[in-house]
Each structure stands twice: as C-alpha cells, then as structure tokens.
Amino acid sequence: DRILEIRKQSYNPMTLKATYYKQPVYIHQGYMQWLWDTDGRRYLDFFAGVATVSVGHCHPKVTEAAEKQLRSLWHTTNIYMSSPPHEYVEKLAACFPDPLKVIYFTNSGSEANDLAMLMARLHTGNYDIISFRGAYHGGSPQTLGLTSYSAYKFPIANGFGCHNTMCPDVFKGPWGGKNCRDSPVQTVRDCNCAPGCCHANDMYIEELKEVLSSSVPCRIAAFFGEPLQGVGGAVQYPRNYLKEAYRLIRQSGGLCIADEVQTGFGRTGSDFWGFQGHGVIPDIVTMAKGIANGYPMGAVVTTKEIAESFAKGLHFNTFGGSPLACAIASSVLDTIKEDGTQQISATIGTYLLTELAKLRDKYEIIGDVRGKGLLIGVEMVKDKESRRPLPAETLSQIFEDIKDMGILVGRGGTFGQVFRIKPPMCITKEDADFFLAVFSHVIQKYAELT
C-alpha cells in the first residue's frame, strides 16, 4: 500500500518503476546475501543490485572501513592529493596487466564509458564508435548511443556518432529465427549446428567487416564490448570472436574498449576481468558496480600513451575518486581476496550452471542456460522449437512466484525473457540449492500449464 501511495505522488518520476508489480518489495535492510523488507520478510538476493553488491550487503569489513573514513575525510575534489585515492590507485593498477596502468575515477558506469569514448576520440582523432546489439553501456546522452536496448533508447541517441550496427535488424521480425542470422541471441549454440561450430563466429566477423568497410575508412574511434553481456541476458560471444574483432578494429585505426562494469572484480569466476577469458588486452577498460560494493563509483584504466593524448584535454570530476569512495573500494579489493569471492564465483557459478542445464534439458520452457561464474542467464521460451519468448504475463508470474518464495532475481534480454542470476559473491552451496529448489518448483508449475 505504501508503495502504491508513493507511486501516486507527483514527485515520483514516471520512469521510476518497481520491478514487482503484483506486490512490490520495499527493502529495509541488507546483510551479506540477504535482504529484508519492511514487513520483516527475508529474501535471498540473487541479483545484488545488478551485480553491484560484490562482497555482500553491509559487509562488516567494508562497513568498518567506510565508518573509519567517514570520521576523517569524505571529500576534497581531485585538485588535492589524499591518501585513500593515492593508495587505492596503486592497488587497482596492480590488478591489470601491462600496459593498462593509468586510472581515472568517476561516479558511475555511464560516466566511465563517456570518459572512455572521449579518450578514444581524442587519441585516434576519429569519431565513430561501434557497439553490439543487446549491449548496455549506460543511460547518459552519450552512452545511450551505445546502448542498443529499445526500451532505453530514444531516437535522438543515434545522433551521437555511435553505431549499434553490428546486427542492424535485431529488433525487426519475430524472435524465433532458425539460423543464427535471424536470432538476436549471439551464442555459439544459436546457429543450431553441432556444439563448437564456428558458423556463428564467421558470420559475426563478416558483419563486423561490413560495418567497418561501410564507414569512411579510418573513422573508427573505438569498439565497445562487454566481455559477457549483462543486461542483454548473459550473452556470450562465439569462441575467438573478440580476438579477431580486436584485430580488425585495430587494423582500422580504432581502440578496443572492454566494459567491465558487470563482469569485473571476479564476477566471471575464472578471471578477475572478463577480457582475460577472451585472450585479449583492451586499450581501455571501464568499471563500476562491484568496484565499491554498491557505493557509487566508477573508473577507467588505460595505457600511458592514450593518457598522454588525453592530457591535452580535461578531466575533472568533482566527486569521482573521493577519499570515501576510495577507502570503500580499497576495502572491497581486500575483501575480495580475503573472502575468496572470485573462487566462490567460479565454483558456485559452475555448480549453478550445471544444475540449471539439467533443468533446461528437462523443461521445454527453459530455452537456454548460459553465462560464466556468477553472471548467469536463464532464457525462457514458449518451446525449444520456436524459441519465442514466453508470454510477458507468464514471465512476470514466474518472476513474482520466485520472489514470493523468498528469492530475488533479475530480468533481462530484449523481451525480459532472461532471468538474470548475479548474487553477491558470498553465497554458499546451500543458497544455490535453495535457489535451484525454488526455481524448479516454480518452473514445474508453469511447464505443466503451457
């Protein structure tokens, strides 16, 4: 009732929507992987504020570091030096391979991507930027041009010199294409050939070549890619795709940018950064979300050479890299190591993927299970043959039922048809089993109905 009341109030922007419509959730408190609503109901958080709460809600060590810093210094702007940013920058740089060593701070992922775009344009002298269909790179006017999601996209966003042109007809036609060119999902399996075929890879490389040759030669400033698409629904690239794409982009004079806003800080389990799983080293890496466990912060890391080109420009960000944000982020990095969260992501992530794949084989309405570490997508379909998404109403009912049984998950994909599983990286096998029991129970109900 309280939420319905708030929604009616005139100062609530029309764009602000609660995810749960039947009975919205009003969160009151959080601890590690748990959230409590105002009625005292406990939820297992399997979305973590969109992969933001990396080490756990109100993690005691991080909270202690924040409290300590709150009592000494919050903010100075970056015109003065102070020890938290100074110490943190060194710690963060040590997490990157050479030559990625120069770090800039922002307050969000969108700001980090804006900065990366500006850097690439200044460094190359070029303007055009390529991103993937299904990509999400932010909600600022500049990054909207990179974000391919129709729901986030305004017609004006196209005017900013960004191409989401890799697969231009993604929003046309029905979902259920039989070959990989018709399908908006870009997994290797999508071509319906034998597992491991390179059909999809060749096809996407051809598309990239088309995009590059249709642009005026050498106008490409950068190529943006999430190492594993987050909002798009845990979409993975075909094997070796990114390696070949990086080669082609560099050949055309562009820079390669990895958006690690969701994939960074060990979220993919086997690697600390998602790009490492592709055997590439980007020219610029952007990060946010998990960096400070939910406290607003973003960062960009690049090479000395690009930083030198950028030094001719201006980087000023009033709040970016404040002593408070850096003290929190620094404690998050320590906690990731001390609590072994990357390892948890790898082992529990693999366990979840394996068990979910069994459910996929059992139920017709689970079309695909994909992802890496604790960044998992479960794609819901009417049936495996048509591969059309489940009707919106059914998707929402499943989503609400999972919540009613005490678990919060996310939704993504073009039609909201992908359940997104991105818990804080402190979950246990018991939590994973609880999720699997709830999920299969709910799915069984709807599988019987369809």
**CA-CA distance, 362 to 447, in Å (whole number)?**
10
Is 226 a binding residue for ligand PMP by CB under 6 A? The answer is yes
Is 109 a binding residue for ligand PMP by CB under 6 A? The answer is yes
User: How far are the Cα atoms of 43, 222, 359, 405, 429 from residue 436, in angstroms, in the given order?
Assistant: 15, 40, 9, 12, 10
Stretch that binds ligand PMP, among 37-45, 71-79, 130-138, 182-190 (CB under 6 A): 130-138
Q: Is 152 helix (H, G, I), strand (E, B) or coil?
A: helix
Is 120 a binding residue for ligand PMP by CB under 6 A? The answer is no
CB 18 within 8 A of CB 305: no
| Residues in contact with ligand PMP, shown as a per-residue x/- string from 185 to 224 under the rule CB under 6 A | ----------------------------------------
Q: Where are the alpha helices (DSSP H) in 71-158?
A: 83-93, 109-124, 141-144
Is 62 a binding residue for ligand PMP by CB under 6 A? The answer is no
Is 259 a binding residue for ligand PMP by CB under 6 A? The answer is yes
Stretch that binds ligand PMP, among 34-42, 102-110, 156-164, 304-312 (CB under 6 A): 102-110
**CA-CA distance, 329 to 336, in Å (whole number)?**
10
Q: Where are the alpha helices (DSSP H) in 52-108?
A: 60-70, 83-93
With CB under 6 A as the contact rule, the residue among 33, 54, 69, 110 that binds ligand PMP is 110
With CB under 6 A as the contact rule, the residue among 35, 205, 221, 231 that binds ligand PMP is 231
CB 368 within 8 A of CB 187: yes
The separation between CA 195 and the C-alpha centre of its own chain, rounded to angstroms, equals 26
Nearer to ligand PMP, 138 or 416 (CB): 138
Which run of H or E residues covers position 300? strand 298-302
- Of 280-299, binders to ligand PMP (CB under 6 A) are 288
> CB of 371: closest distance to ligand PMP in angstroms?
14
Encoding tokens for residue 295? 């406290």
Nearer to ligand PMP, 230 or 377 (CB): 230
Encoding tokens for residue 379? 């794609």
Q: Is 309 helix (H, G, I), strand (E, B) or coil?
A: helix
Pairing of β 255-259 and β 284-287:
parallel
Is 137 a binding residue for ligand PMP by CB under 6 A? The answer is yes
Nearer to ligand PMP, 300 or 426 (CB): 300
Nearer to ligand PMP, 231 or 325 (CB): 231
Is 411 a binding residue for ligand PMP by CB under 6 A? The answer is no
Is 85 a binding residue for ligand PMP by CB under 6 A? The answer is no
> CB of 54: closest distance to ligand PMP in angstroms?
14
Nearer to ligand PMP, 49 or 323 (CB): 49
> CB of 259: closest distance to ligand PMP in angstroms?
5
Question: How would you write 371-435 as a 3-class SS string?
Answer: EECCEEEEEEECCCCCCCECCHHHHHHHHHHHHHCCEECEEECCCCCEEEECCCCCCCHHHHHHH
Count residues contacting ligand PMP (CB under 6 A)? 15
Closest C-alpha to 242, from 193, 276, 191, 270: 276
Interface with ligand PMP (CB under 6 A): 50, 108-110, 113, 136-138, 226, 230-231, 259, 261-262, 288
